[in-house]
Amino acid sequence: MKPDAIAGRPNGLSGKRCSVFGTITIAAVVLASCQQTKKESPATAPRFTLTKLDGGPLTRFDPSAPGRTKQVPDTSLHRSFVILNDSNFPLQITSFGFRAEEPDRMITELTNARLAYVFDWSLRPRISITAWEVHDVRFDLLNRFLDDHINDNAVRTGDTKQLTAGEEYKTNRMNWSKSEETDQLGRWLTSILFVSAIRTADGKVWSCDKSALTAQISQLGFQLPAEFQW
């Protein structure tokens, strides 16, 4: 009898092993099934679309040069224009350009200007817009804030055109630099451009998300001053 009992032990042990193995196998199948049916979260669309434009070689003021500007020597740096469009906003900036020229005599006499800047903007609205405001925020070679130029279609600019949905609108603005301001040109390496506010034809006023915009600018390596005027 003893030999028979001893001989039966392996059978009992074998059955236990099969049971454990079966449990492990079922758990593995269930885990694999869960992994296969798990759905990935849809990717979130970026809040801002970024367009970087080449503004040409870095230039500085030179009263003897054509247009009173010339390329900064011994550097390969190019001025950059970075357009930040909020995908949720009804107005988008589509292009931006800049050129410097000699101010005419009347402007020189009235403002003591030594250099004139002409900025060309292109805007495209998704809906009809009666008022708009855009910013051209400038930074130096070390990504430090220089100044901010605000443009709009206020009465003082002489450009009060309302924007029609889907129609690209081109406009320009002129600024002047006095003697003490002309050194800014050679330091101005980057502009960040964005829409700050609009008024639609139905009377609704849209304002930019200041926190989101500030965070996006920071991610690009630039910082707005605490006293920045929106």
What is 143-199 written as a DSSP string?
Answer: S-EEEEEEEE--GGGT--PPBPTT--EEEEEEEEEEGGGTTHHHH--EEEEEEEEEE
pLDDT at 194: 98
The pLDDT assigned to 114 comes to: 87
Residue whose C-alpha is closest to residue 182's, from 68, 94, 13, 40: 68
**Whole-number pLDDT of residue 21:** 45
Q: What is the mean pLDDT of residues 117-139?
A: 94
Q: Report d(CA 108, CA 101) in Å as an integer.
A: 12
- Taking the C-alpha atoms of residue 124 and residue 143, their distance in angstroms, rounded to an integer, is 29
Structure tokens given for 87:
């995908």
38 secondary structure, DSSP code: P
pLDDT tens for 66-87 read: 889 999 999 999 999 999 999 9
DSSP state of 69: E
In the structure, what pLDDT confidence band is assigned to residue 46 with cuts at 50, 70 and 90?
A: confident
More confident of the two residues 210 and 171:
210
Mean pLDDT confidence for 135-139 = 96
- Given a cut of 80, whether residue 135 has pLDDT beyond it is yes
Mean pLDDT (whole number) for 153-174: 81
With a cut of 60, say whether residue 173 has pLDDT above it.
yes
The two three-digit tokens of residue 177, written as one number: 């630099």
Domain ranges of the chain: 1-38, 48-219
pLDDT, one tens digit per residue, over 142-151 is: 999 999 999 9
At residue 80, the pLDDT reads 98
Mean pLDDT for the chain overall: 83
CB < 8 Å & 24+ apart, contacts of 36-41: none
